[in-house]
Amino acid sequence: MSERRAPLRFLHLHSTFNAGGKELRCARLINAFGPGIAHTIVSAEPRALAAGGRISPSIPVRYSSNFPSLTGFPFPWRLQRIADAMRGFDLVLTYNWGAMDAVMAHTLFAAPFGLPPLVHHEDGFNADEAGGLKRSRNWYRRLALGRADALVVPSQGLERIAREVWFQPREKVHRIANGIATAAFAKRPRKDALPRLIKREGESWVGTLAGLRPVKNLPRLVRAFSSLPDHWHLVILGEGPEREAIREEVMRCGIVHRVHMPGFADPAQAAGLFDIFALSSDSEQFPLSVVEGMAAGLPVAAPAVGDVAQIVVEENRPFIVPPGDEAALAGALQRLASDETLRRAVGAANRERARRHFDEAGMIAAYRALYAGLIGRETIP
C-alpha cells in the first residue's frame, strides 16, 4: 500500500486581501489547486478580506488573525517573530512591497529555523512609487530577496526591474503573464448583473474595474469622461479608500447622474455591459482588468503604463495614450464613443487576442509547475 501524504500547507502573506488583481489571481489559483492544499491567508489589514469570497467553499482556508504584523520597523526581533510563524508550512507565498518584511525575515532566518521555500510575487507599485522607485526600497528589496527561492512577475517591465535594478539572477525570475477564464467573458451579460444598477435602453457605458486607490487615479478618469454626450455613463466597479475623493470630483464636474459606483461585482458578469473599457492609472504592470475588458470584446482607452500597449491588439494602440496625459485620454474616449463600428471591430480583435494569449489555463500550469518544483513534487493537486 502506498503511503498517504498529508495535505500540503501554503501560507499567503498579503498587505491586503481585498478584491484587487493580484488577490483575485491568488483566489483563482487556490481554486485551481483544489482541496488537497490547505491555505492560511494573512492580510496586514485584518478586515480587508473581500477576495476570500471568490474562493470555493470546498477549499480548506484559514484567515490568520494572530500572525505577527507585516508592518513596522524591521527590528531583528520583529523579523524573527515573523520567521518563527512561517514554520510548519510547505510553501510561503508573499505579495508586493507590503510583505517585504516577511521576505527579509525568511532570508535572515530560513537556514537556522529550517523554513520552507518562499516565492515572492511582485505585481506593481503603489502611488508613492508611481513616479519612480525609491532608492531605499530598492536597496531593501535587493537584500530581502537574496535568499528567496523565486520571484514571479507578470510583465516585461517588472522583469527588467527585477534583473537590472534589484540584481536578481535570471534563473530566479519567472515572468508569468496574468490570465483569466476567457470563456466566462463571452457570455451575454444580464442587464441587472450589477447591484443597484440597470443598463437602460439608449445608454452607453464607459466602464472600469479597479480598486479605489490613489494609484488608479480615478478622478482623472472622471474628468476625461465628463465631456462625452449625455447618453454616456461611467461605471466604476471596485471598492477602496478613494470613494469619497472620486465622488467629490464627480460633483465638481456636474455629472452625478451619469457616474455610478455600485461596488465590487464579478468582472465576468459585468464587463460585457460596458461599451468601452477605460483605465486611468498612474502605475500598472500587467493589469488583469485590461485583459478582462478585452475578453468581453471591448476596445480599451488607457495610458501606456506597464505592458498595456503590448497587451492590446495593434488596432487598439492608437487609444493607448502617454501616461498622465489627461487630454489625450479624453480624446481617446471621444473617438471611440463617436464610432460604434470602430468599437465593435477593435473589441472583436481584442477578444480573440485575449482568448489566444491570456487564458488562465497557461497561467495556472506555469504556477503549478513552479510551486511543485520548489517543494520537490512532480505536480501539486
| pLDDT score of 381 | 80
How many Å apart are CA 334 and CA 96, to the nearest integer? 35
Residue 351 to residues 114, 272, 310, Cα–Cα distance (Å): 47, 11, 15
Q: 122: number of CA atoms within 13 Å, CB side?
A: 27
User: Roughly how many angstroms between the first and final C-alpha of the chain, as a whole number?
Assistant: 20
Question: Which amino acid makes up residue 351?
Answer: R
User: In sequence order, what DSSP letters do the residues of 154-198 get, joined into one string?
Assistant: SSHHHHHHHHHTS---TTTEEE----B-GGGGGSPPPTT-BTTB-
17: Cα separation from own chain's centroid: 11
Q: Which three cell numbers stand for residue 72?
A: 513596522
Task: Decide which of 3.40.50.1110, 3.40.50.2000, 3.40.50.300, 3.40.50.11030 is the CATH code for 182-357.
Answer: 3.40.50.2000
289: Cα separation from own chain's centroid: 8
| pLDDT score of 332 | 98
How many Å apart are CA 330 and CA 322, to the nearest integer? 12
User: In sequence order, what DSSP letters do the residues of 25-61 get, joined into one string?
Assistant: HHHHHHHHH-TTEEEEEEESSTT--GGGGGS-TTS-E
How many Å apart are CA 311 and CA 343, to the nearest integer? 17
| pLDDT score of 199 | 92
Q: What is the largest CA-CA distance in the chain?
A: 73
Q: 300: number of CA atoms within 13 Å, CB side?
A: 35
How many Å apart are CA 182 and CA 20, to the nearest integer? 18
Q: Are 212 and 259 in contact (CB under 8 A)?
A: no
Can you give the residue ranges of every domain in the chain?
8-179+360-374, 182-357
Question: Which amino acid makes up residue 271?
Answer: A
Question: What is the residue-level pLDDT of the chain in tens, covering all 381 positions?
Answer: 344 566 899 999 999 998 778 898 999 999 999 999 999 999 999 889 989 999 999 999 999 989 999 999 999 999 999 999 999 999 999 999 999 999 999 999 999 999 999 999 999 887 777 678 899 999 999 999 999 999 999 989 899 999 999 999 999 999 999 899 999 998 888 888 888 898 999 999 999 999 898 999 999 999 999 999 999 999 999 988 999 999 999 999 999 999 999 998 889 999 999 999 999 999 888 888 999 999 999 999 999 998 999 999 999 999 999 999 999 999 999 999 999 999 999 999 999 999 999 999 999 999 999 999 999 998 888
DSSP state of 241: T
| pLDDT score of 190 | 84
**Residues sharing a CB contact under 8 Å with residue 75, sequence separation 6 or more, in sequence order:** none
Query: CATH for 8-179+360-374?
Result: 3.40.50.2000
Q: What is the residue whose three cell numbers read 513534487?
A: 377
Residue 209 to residues 144, 176, 206, 270, Cα–Cα distance (Å): 32, 21, 11, 9
How many Å apart are CA 288 and CA 177, to the nearest integer? 9
SS3 9: strand
Q: What are phi and psi of 296, to 5 degrees?
A: -85, 5
Can 8-179+360-374 and 182-357 be said to share one CATH topology? yes
| pLDDT score of 2 | 43
How many Å apart are CA 113 and CA 282, to the nearest integer? 40
| pLDDT score of 188 | 85
How many Å apart are CA 104 and CA 86, to the nearest integer? 12
Q: Are 5 and 340 in contact (CB under 8 A)?
A: no
Angle value at C-alpha 8, between 179 and 373, nearest 5 degrees: 60
How many Å apart are CA 277 and CA 306, to the nearest integer? 17
Q: Are 358 and 177 in contact (CB under 8 A)?
A: yes
SS3 376: coil
Q: Which three cell numbers stand for residue 185?
A: 467573458
The closest alpha carbon to 269, from 168, 185, 351, belongs to: 185
Phi-psi region of 124 (alpha: psi -120 to 50; beta: other; left: phi over 0): left
Give the residues across from 302 on adjacent strands: 320
